[in-house]
Structure 1
Amino acid sequence: MSPKVWLITGCSSGFGGLLVRAALKNGDKVVATARDPKKIDDLKALGAATLALDVCDTEENIRKAVADANAAYGRIDILVNNAAYILEGTVEESSASEVFKIYNTNVFGSLMVARAVLPYMRAQKSGTIANMGSIGGVRGTQGAGLYCSTKFAIAGITESLKSEVAHLGIDAVCIEPGYFRTNFLAPGHRTPTAARIADYDPVMEPIRNIFDTYDRAQPGDPERGAQLIVEILTKSGRVTGKEVPVRVPLGSDAIAFISAKAEETLQTMKEWKDLSSSTDHDDVKN
């Protein structure tokens, strides 16, 4: 199998840098990006090409950065939209500017980069677009509603995209990790809303305490997670011969979390089937 060429966003923290290392170890070529490429000089030293790419930049600048990424090795086989952060606060506490900022990074940025990469993948009739989702995209959680909603959006976009590009030889995958021991829950990555409303303290204080306690105590090993993601996106190693689903859970907690949600959904469908179906026209056969 010939080496793949990766383009990865948000490589200065979280899964980004670990994915770069895992892909290079796999013998692949990587274009690693960050808003400040000096922050990923360690990845450059390992053999990655590095570029400045801010997913919140203008469409023109993002397209130019992607063109430079494509020129680095003459193609892009795998795009990983990894740049994201969590906004900590209730729905009411989240200001309009804070809502726009998290959507701009977590959703609009991923869309912009994907749209910039797709013309190259269409031309070569191959490629994989991987969007980093989350178990938060399966169930909304108090205190993280805006973050969860961005991951719901990412999952929906990925499912639709997969159907749109399959006939072009392109695949789309949404990776949905549980909690991994990265810096994602650390200060600076977990951004609190500026507003604090005392009425919400009974639901927010437990969440803040859980985040603080869970930081650096998450069950997932990020290096093992990055290695599996590489195998998933290159369909190699343990994933050889497997059909990769459009939404892939990552971590034992993700399996438990998503399974519980699926069971609840099925139970709701059973309980509400007759009442919900009563709205059909009389000539509709159930």
Structure 2
Amino acid sequence: MSSERSAERRIVSVDALRLGDHACMGTADVAGESPWKVFTAYTRTSLARREKVLLVMDPDDLTDDEVVTLLDAGGGQAVAAWDSGQLVLRRNTEMYVPDGRFEKERTIDAYRAEVDRSYAEGWSGLRVTADMSWAPRVRLDPERLLDYEASVAPLFADPLFTAICWYDRRRFGDELTARFAEVHPVRVVDLPDSPPVTGIPEGGRIAGGAEPGTGPEFVEALREALDHRNDAGPGHFVLDLRDLCFMEAHCAWQLISLAASLPPGSAVTVRCGELLALVLEQLGAAEVPQLVVRVEDEAAAAG
């Protein structure tokens, strides 16, 4: 990787990954040491952007049917993506050691072929997450794996290829996991389950998740943020949702409804990422005069 990309090392939530990012995640970085909440948000975001998703899992992990069911959560999106070929599941032994041996250039070529295939199939990009536990399985020298991770930069020269390498510290140990994280420009960390509200001068910032299990907390957080308004008349304030890692449609509808309930002349500016803006648009946000949706990328968020 270039020295410029290396110097850019960032720690982000999964929804803040940029196109072309080469990211690392360790089990110590996620609550409960299960990566599936992160992978689910990563997959749903990618599918909504019409990107192809390739999940490379350990042979001892969940079965393909179990993974699709977990990612789908009854919504139908992951099932449809699986049927259409937008979602693909592979085992890491197949990708990295198909004959029991690891060959760096062969692996890089295999991923390059996956990128080419995704373009040929008409997808807008390719998102990968790979369980790296194949390496201790075949007793690969850690130095060879470090060399591989430092050698895949040409893949990420294509800005529409994004990947998360997952290192299970129970298999690699804390010291090695930290070393592998150091050769990645980006580190992915989890966000808390409950969506806390943090005050900002114009309104409130909400982080966390807005899924079925946390929906009531999210709605309460919204109400708390909106309580800053002046009940005597129109209010003007901002909801900063750029740190929100995922939002179910019902929670988005609640946001629209709460904005619509404000007095005429009120203005609620929602600062959010592309995916949340798309959900709000599909649910009719444009029909609520009190609601303004402003898409801001990570560079704006950092400012």
TM-score computed with the length of structure 1 as normaliser: 0.37
* Greater relative CO (CA pairs within 8 A, separation 6+): 2
* Greater per-residue strand proportion: 2
